[in-house]
Amino acid sequence: MQITGAVLERCGAPAPWADSRPLTVGPLELDPPGPGELRVRIEAAGLCHSDLSVVDGNRVRPTPMLLGHEAAGIVEAVGPGTDAPADAGIAVGTRVVMTFLPRCGRCAECATDGRLPCSVGSAANVVGELVGGVRRLHRDGADVHHHLGVSAFATHAVVSATSVVPVPDDVPADVAALLGCAVLTGGGAVLNAGRPATGEAVAVVGLGGVGMAALLVAAALGHEVIGIDMVPAKLDLARELGARALTPAEALDTGVRAPVVVEAAGNARAFETAYALTAPGGTTVTVGLPGPDARASISPLSLTAEARTVVGSYLGSAVPSRDIPRYVELWRAGRLPLERLVSARIGLDELPRALDRLAAGEELRQLITFDERTPA
C-alpha cells in the first residue's frame, strides 16, 4: 500500500534543519505484514532526542531511513501465521504502544529482566531492519531503512509483534504514544534502575520529555522530587507538578543531595552534575545519550569511600509488556498526568522546525498527530 512518511536522506546535516532540510515528506510503498508482523495505522508519534541524534549525526544510521520510534496506533492487519499477537490479546482494531527495542524473549539478554537490551532486537535496529531480517519500506523501487523497528513518522507502519504492547481503549493515543519511549525510559530509570526506597527523594537532571517523565513517575510513586534544568519554563512546569525546581548552579551551591539521581540530558556535564548531587550510598542513573566522543570526569575514590553506584539504563531497563500496564494504572488513577508532557502538536511537514525547537530546549514532547481520514 502507499503511505506518506518523513524520510531522513542523510545524517549530519547542519542546523538549522528548517534550512538544510534533511527530511523528505512524501509517498512510500509499504509491504503487507509478514509472519510475526502487524500493520499499524499511526495515530500519534512523539519527536524525541533519539530522532534528533540520528539527524545531527551523533547516532549514525543507514539512510534513507523513515524516522520515528515513539508512537501509538491501531492494528489494521496481522501477518500470516502470527500467533504471538493473539496470545497477547492483540487483534485487528487494538490500540498498541510501539516500543523502539523489540524483545525476542529468547536471547540471554532478554533473560536479564530488562537490565540488558535484547541482542536480536539491537542487531536489527543497527542495520535498519525488522527483527525478521527484512525491510518493508520502499521508495522508487529501492529499500528504505526502518528506524528502531518502528518508523512511526508516517501514516502507517509494519512492525514486529515483539515491538508492540496493547493498551485499553480508554487510553488516548496521545498518552499511549508517550508510554513507548519517554515514560518507559524516564519512568524506568526510577522504577527499575534507581529503585528508591520508600520516602527517599529522587532528583532529575535534564527536564526534557524523558526527564519530566521520570519526575512524574517518581512523584506518582510517592517520592519527593527535585527537578534540575537551565530552562525557566521547564522549571516552572516542574514546580506546577509538585517538584522542587532548581538550576544546576543552584542545586550545587545549596548542597542538594538525593539518594537517587537520574541524568536525562544526554551530555557529559549533566552526568557530572547528577553524580555530584548523589548522596553517599546513593545511585546515579544515566539514561541520556551523549555523543560517542563525550567524556565525563568523576572521582573514583568517591565510588569506594561513599559506597556510590552508577547505573546505565537503556529504555529504562524496561520489560515493556510488564511496565506499560503499570503506568496505565497510575494514569487511570490520576497520579500520572502524562498529558502535561505534550508541548505541541505538529504535522509531518513541520518536522524540520520542530527539530530546531527540540535542539534549542524549547519543547518537551512535540506530537505528530494523524487524522484518521488522512489519505495514505
Q: Can you give the pLDDT of all 376 residues of the chain as single tens digits?
A: 999 999 999 999 999 999 999 999 999 999 999 999 999 999 999 999 999 999 999 999 999 999 999 999 999 999 987 655 444 568 999 999 999 999 888 999 999 999 999 999 999 999 999 998 999 999 999 999 999 999 999 999 999 999 999 999 999 999 999 999 999 999 999 999 999 999 899 999 999 999 999 999 999 999 999 999 999 999 999 999 999 999 999 999 999 999 999 999 999 999 999 999 999 999 999 999 898 899 999 999 999 999 999 999 999 999 999 999 999 999 999 999 999 999 999 999 999 999 999 999 999 999 999 865 444 4
CA 201 – CA 220 distance, rounded (Å) = 13
Asked if the domains 2-166+337-369 and 186-314 are classified in one and the same CATH topology, the answer is no
CA 317 – CA 335 distance, rounded (Å) = 22
pTM score of the predicted model? 0.94
Instruction: Please state at what angle helix 320-332 crosses helix 209-220, rounded to 10 degrees.
Output: 70
Question: In what helix (H) or strand (E) does residue 6 lie, and over which residues does it extend?
Answer: strand 2-8
pLDDT value for 374 = 43
Whole-angstrom CA distances from 168 to 77, 312, 320, 369 are 18, 31, 15, 19
- Rounded (5°) CA angle 366-26-90: 65
Tell me the domain boundaries of the chain. Answer: 2-166+337-369, 186-314
pLDDT value for 371 = 66
Residue 177 burial by Cβ neighbours in a 10 Å radius (0-12, 13-18, 19+): buried
CATH 3.40.50.720 fits 186-314, yes or no: yes
Nine cell digits for residue 114: 530488562
CATH 3.90.180.10 fits 2-166+337-369, yes or no: yes
CA 338 – CA 341 distance, rounded (Å) = 6
Are the CB atoms for 95 and 166 separated by under 8 Å? yes
pLDDT value for 87 = 45
